[in-house]
A and B are shown apart, each in its own frame.
Chain A
Amino acid sequence: MIGQTLAMEGIFAFFLESSFLGVLLYGEERFSPQVQWFAALMLFLGSWLSGYFILATNAWMQHPVAYTVAPDGRLFVNSLSGLLTNPWLLWQYTHNMTATVVTAAFVMVALGALYLLSGQHVAHAKTFLRTGVVAGAIACTLMIFPTGDGNAKQVFAHQPLKGAAFEGLFHTERGAGLILVGQPNMETLTIDNPLVVPRALSFLVYEDLWAELKGLDAFPREQWPDNVPLLYYTYHIMVGLGTILASVMALSLLMLWRGWLFKSKWLLWLLMLSAPFPYIATTAGWMTAELGRQPWLVYGVLRTAEGASPLVHAGNALFTLLGFLGMYLLLGLLFLFFISQTIREGPVPGVRKTSRLPVDGSVEA
Chain B
Amino acid sequence: METLWYIVVTLMLALYVVLDGFDFGVGILYPVLGRSEADRDVMHAAIGPVWNGNEVWLIAAGAVLFLAFPKAYAAGFSGFYLALIIVLWLFMFRGLALELRSHLDHPMWRQLCDVTFSGASLLLAIVFGAALGNLIRGVPLNREGYFFVALWTDFLTGPAPGILDWFTVLMGLASATILALHGANYLTMKTKGDLYARAVAAAKLMGWLALGSTVLVWLGITFVQPILRFNYTAHPVGYILPVGGAIALVATLVLRRRQRDVAAFMTSSLFILAMLGSVAWGCYPIILIATTEPANSLTIFNAATGAYGLQAGAVWFVMGFVLIIAYQVYAHRVFWGKVPTTEQSADGMTHK
Contact = CB atoms under 8 A, between A and B. Distances in A.
Contacts of B50: 22
B66 A6 contact: yes
Interface stretch (B122-130, B141-149, B200-208, B209-217): B141-149
B91 A363 contact: yes
Interface stretch (B166-174, B229-237, B248-256, B303-311): B303-311
A4 B317 CA distance: 10
Interface string A320-341: 1001000100010010001001
A1 B306 CA distance: 9
Given A80-B312, A310-B146, A19 B53 contact: yes
A76 B307 CA distance: 9
Nearest to B81: A312
A11 B95 contact: no
Nearest to A21: B52
Given A3-B309, A312-B148, A8 B320 contact: yes
Interface string B318-334: 00110110011011001
Given A11-B320, A309-B78, A76 B306 contact: yes
A25 to B, nearest CB: 7
A141 B173 CA distance: 58
A331 B64 CA distance: 29
Contacts of B70: 1, 3
Given A22-B49, A334-B100, A358-B100, A11 B317 contact: yes
A31 B49 CA distance: 13
B151 to A, nearest CB: 10
Interface string A208-228: 000000000000000000000
Interface residues of A, number: 56
Given A309-B78, A312-B78, A356-B99, A23 B305 contact: no
Contacts of A2: 66
Interface in B76-105: 78-79, 81-82, 85, 89, 91-92, 95-96, 99-100, 102-104
Interface stretch (B54-62, B281-289, B293-301): B54-62
B155 interface: no
Determine the main DSSP class of A at the interface with B. helix
Interface in A335-353: 338, 341, 353
Given A18-B52, A309-B81, A6 B67 contact: yes
A310 B324 CA distance: 36
B316 interface: yes
Interface string B137-164: 0000010101110000000000000000
Given A22-B48, A22-B49, A311-B148, A14 B60 contact: yes
Contact of B334 (A1, A30, A316, A334): A30
Contacts of B68: 3
A365 interface: yes
B306 A9 contact: no
B99 A11 contact: no
B309 A357 contact: no
A60 interface: no
B309 A16 contact: no
Contacts of A12: 320, 323
B10 to A, nearest CB: 15
B102 A316 contact: no
B24 interface: no
Contact of B308 (A22, A78, A316, A331): A78
Contact of A18 (B56, B62, B308): B56
B193 interface: no
Nearest to B324: A15
B63 A19 contact: no
Interface string A289-325: 0000000000000000000011111001001100100
A22 B52 contact: yes
Contacts of A78: 306, 308
B264 to A, nearest CB: 24
A364 interface: yes
A193 interface: no
Contacts of B45: 26
B327 A20 contact: yes
A311 B146 CA distance: 7
Contact of B60 (A11, A77, A334): A11
A353 to B, nearest CB: 6
A365 B58 CA distance: 12
B144 to A, nearest CB: 7
A7 B313 contact: yes
A218 B59 CA distance: 44
Given A22-B50, A311-B79, A15 B63 contact: no
B92 A15 contact: no
Q: Which of A15, A316, A363 has the most CB of B within 10 A?
A: A15
Contacts of B104: 338, 341
Interface string A35-60: 00000000000000000000000000
B63 A362 contact: no
A357 to B, nearest CB: 7
Given A3-B70, A310-B146, A362-B56, A9 B49 contact: no
Given A4-B67, A311-B146, A316-B82, 20 more contacts: A3-B305, A6-B67, A7-B313, A8-B320, A9-B63, A10-B64, A14-B60, A20-B327, A22-B331, A76-B308, A309-B74, A309-B78, A311-B79, A327-B89, A341-B104, A356-B102, A360-B95, A362-B52, A363-B92, A364-B92
Q: Which 8 A-B pairs have the closest CB atoms?
A: A76-B306, A309-B78, A3-B67, A10-B60, A22-B49, A11-B320, A10-B63, A311-B148
18 contacts: A3-B70, A4-B309, A7-B60, A7-B66, A7-B67, A12-B323, A22-B52, A23-B49, A23-B334, A25-B48, A26-B45, A27-B334, A310-B144, A311-B142, A320-B82, A338-B103, A356-B99, A358-B100
